[in-house]
Structure 1
């Protein structure tokens, strides 16, 4: 029941603030209200008006985090975004996964996992981040990339489908 109430609460925040322009102050207000039901939320969490956040009760967000336009974050697993992270427009973060049951993914059990984005990282536009992924601190995930595994080398550029180490930055 709690999950459904939080889902309605997140929808209410998105609906009430949808037509409010994306100024830093209004994005912080959105972030504040989302943060009230999160596991952890730091200061200066900014969310744009058309970002879609579902499962916020499982989020741990650091300070000075920005979520860009048309970003979709959903699933029933845990999301950890450390301090000073920027997520560019069009990014999809999925922290859950379906399994097959009776030759159908429709009614299969949901597989919960975790996604972690390290401090000071930048997720480029139109990226997809899947369950079990980890982007190390001060790293860049190149635009249009698919991150589906854990990387451990900080200060690096990762890109591609699926993502791979490109170079140190």
Structure 2
């Protein structure tokens, strides 16, 4: 007899595989988004009905995904979920964003990529990660922060701060008015 936790784990992995295989086929209309969300939940992700993921996004271990209310994840993102990824309420993730939670210890000369370790990633309430940005293991993006398109985030991002570049560096603080204006101008073409 197979123990129940093992059966659940196997079913969750099967649902994740189905999700990754069918994600583009489901489309981004209401039905496709609902089916994708149902598969994410079946895979063990914590995902409220108010949040949505568009197609083409890959999840390595959906059970390690924690999503707040009213989040939006655009097309073709990659979530390496060896560690937990937590998205606070109102987070927006642009096209092609990569979130990585696994890293390697430095190994010996014969094989430098040593043992894999997982470090969680947290994106705070209301933050926006621009198109094709990369967030690396162990990073916390503070509430209300903005990560510019194409940035590579290697260190924590302070709340209400705009970061850009490779590696990402603080460009400026965003007060409430700046943040609202930035969001208003960028939202129609938000990536």
TM-score (norm 2): 0.78
Contact 1:28/1:47 (CA < 8 Å) preserved in 2? no
Distance 1:144 1:44, change over 3 A: same
Asked if the contact 1:137/1:155 (under 8 Å) is kept, the reply is yes
Evaluate the alpha carbon distance shift between residue 59 and residue 8 of structure 1 in structure 2; reply closer, same or farther with a 3 A threshold. Answer: same
Matching residue of 2:98: 92
Give 5+ residue unaligned stretches, structure 1.
none
The Cα shift of 1:98 comes to 1.7
> In the alignment, which of 70, 76, 85 is matched to residue 79 of structure 1?
85
Q: 1:5 to 1:32 in 2, by over 3 A?
A: closer
Show CA shifts across 1:43-83 (max 9, x none). 32211221111121112111111121110111411111111
Q: 1:89-139, CA deviations, whole angstroms, 9 ceiling, x for partnerless residues? A: 111110111223333145x21111010101111100010100011111111
The answer to whether 1:156 aligns with 2:165 is no
Measured in 2, the distance between the counterparts of 1:109 and 1:151 equals 27
Note if contact 2:145-2:157 (Cα within 8 Å) is conserved in structure 1. no
- Alignment correspondent of 2:178: none
More strand by share: 1
Other structure's SS at 1:109 match: strand
CA distances 1:127-165 after superposition (whole Å, capped 9, x unpaired) = 01000111111111000001111123x222111111111
Greater gyration radius: 2
Q: How many residues align?
A: 167
Alignment of 1:122-137 (within 5 A): 122-137=128-143
Shift of 1:17: 4.3
Higher normalized helix content (fraction of residues): 2
1:30 to 29, 33, 36: 36
Gaps of 5+ in 2: 1-5, 175-191
Which position in structure 2 is the counterpart of 1:144? 150
CA distance in 2, matches of 1:55, 1:98: 18
